[in-house]
Each structure stands twice: as C-alpha cells, then as structure tokens.
Amino acid sequence: MHRHPGHFRFPVHLSGSAASRALRGVQNGQVAAVFCSSFYVETITGFVCIGNETLEPAPLNLITDAPAGTDWSASGVRHGEQVNVSSMSIDIGQRFSFPLSGTTGWQPDPPPKAWKFADLKQGLDAFRGATTERVPREGLGHFLHATSRSENDDPVTRRAQGPILEAQQWLTASMTTPDKRWPDPHWVHPLIGLGPGLTPSGDDFISGMMIALHYLEQSDVRQSVWKLASGRTKDVTTPISYAHLEAASRGEGSRGIHQALTAMMTGQTAAIEDLMKGIDHIGHTSGWDAIAGAVTVFDARLCSHRPHLSQEATAETSYYSAVR
C-alpha cells in the first residue's frame, strides 16, 4: 500500500455521478472541509467527498479502500491543502494518493414504475409508526410526525414550521393543477440555509422534496422548486450544500434515501428497520431531514389524489396555524 514511508495509496472503487463530473478534465483543486471519516475536495467544476470503505454511495462521494477506522483529520489532511487531479489519480501532497483506474460509476436505482396509492399510504403509515422514537431531536425530522413537531421547542423546527406548512399546501395544489399555472414556491426562501452545519437542515429537507418529486414524475413541480432554490442558495448557504442541492435537483441523493423512498412507494414494510439504520448514517441529521422533505411530498400527493385526505390535511393545517 505504501510507495515510501508516509505515503498512503487508497484506490477509489466507487464514484458518484456528480463526483465524476467534478473530476472531468480537472488538473487541480483544494481540500474544502475535513472530518474524521471523510473530506471534501473542491475543483473548478464542483465538489467531491472522499471517504473510507464505509462511506454511503451518493452523488458527490468517492468511496476508497481506506479502512473503516481511517481518521483523515488525524492523518494530516488539512483545509486548503493543494490537490492534484489527473485521469489516473487524485494526489494530496506527498502523503495520499487515490488511484482512479479501477473506479466504477454509481447512480441510484431508478424510481419504481409500478406503484399504487394504497401501497404508498401503507408504506408511509408503517414508516411513521416505526420511527416515532427514532427521529433525532435536532433538525427537521420531526416533520415526519405531527405531534412531535408541534411540541418541539428547537428553534430551527419552530422557524421551519410556517414555510413547511405553506409547502404542503403549495405541493398539493401544484400536483392537482393540470395547466401548470401555480404560483412561485416562495416558502423555499426561508428554508434555504436554515440550521447549522455543512448542509443545513432546511437544505436537506428541500433536497428530499426534489428527489421525491422526481420519483413521482413531477418534473415541472421539481423544477419550480429548484428555480427559486438555486437563485438564492449561493447567497445564504454553503457551497458544499449547494452541490448536494444541485444533485437533488436531478433526482439524485444518497443510496439510503432512494432505498427508503422505493420501500415507501411500494409498501415494503418489512425493510423499514434496515432502512432506518441507513438513514441514521447520512450526516448528523441530513438523512432524517431529507426523508422528512420526501414524506411531505408523498403526503401532498396522497392528498391531491384522495379528497378525504385533503380534508384531513386542511384540518391539520388549521391546527398548526393555531400553534405557530
């Protein structure tokens, strides 16, 4: 594995679609952020996230053969460090080399084509029932559950409640309007950049929404959301978060998100426990934030399809308006 003492060679065996685009024709870059199990490299065309063998397949991710216990920060990878990129490898100083010759491209599996509204409702009900005690206190995962989100005193949750309520109404109306003359989704603006961290919870929530809209083949609705998000994102959130949002605008996210959405749409209730473990491992709260956004879209689709569900949603809307 070593070329000489102190030089480590970890071949890349899986590359997400966005990572492949970010490395195409690039000659250099720099380390943009460093964590224990992964770090980001910025090139002139985008970002890649390099991690060890436990890293989740995702659009920006490069999964290497580095052992699970590798700590990049402790190993000496530093923010701002020069990175050299070629068609053969990614090199960081004289210490790390990541050969690219054996890399396999990764893209999420396509959305299920054959699904039924009854299966989607069954999947959503089962997922909610299994995650009542699982959702982290921080972030926007509480929006999976009506009672917990209304009672939560987290400031991010409270600030998001109004915009997400508007999003529910907008999504339901948009997916029942055949002439595509829905208003602009201005609820997007207060969610962008909402919350701490490299990818704020509001951004992850919107990412989950756009992926779910892709699953439902609501491309026009998805593009309306992305149009407003992309026009504001670069001013109020991190460049890395923007890169994740851009991937989501194409319907691409972490493998765990795609697996959960497929299971919900097809009513695969037996897979929920394993799916929750995968969501736990996506960022600090990013997986749950994104799932909450996706579930918001699925709920709206059910409401637009079944009148009695729309009436229930209207009643819930009145309740949340009162507790805000």
> Between residues 23 and 154, which one has the greater pLDDT?
23
pLDDT at 152: 62
Q: Quick check: 315 pLDDT over 70?
A: no
Give the span between the Cα atoms of 132 and 76, in whole angstroms. 40
- For 90-133, write each residue's pLDDT tens digit: 999 888 999 999 999 999 999 999 899 999 999 999 999 998 88
Give the span between the Cα atoms of 108 and 184, in whole angstroms. 29
Q: Closest Cα partner for 147 from 159, 160, 133? A: 133
Q: What is the pTM of this model?
A: 0.90
Mean per-residue pLDDT over the chain, rounded: 88
Give the span between the Cα atoms of 44 and 42, in whole angstroms. 7
Give the span between the Cα atoms of 90 and 148, in whole angstroms. 45
CA distances from 190 to 113, 195, 232 (A): 33, 11, 10
What's the rounded mean pLDDT across residues 258-266? Answer: 95
Give the span between the Cα atoms of 84 and 95, in whole angstroms. 12
The sheet that has 61-64: what strands, in order across it?
Answer: 8-9, 96-99, 89-92, 82-85, 28-34, 38-43, 46-51, 61-64, 12-16, 104-106
Q: How many CB atoms lie within 10 A of CB 129?
A: 11
CA distances from 206 to 37, 189, 193 (A): 25, 10, 10
The residue type of 163 is: P
pLDDT at 120: 95
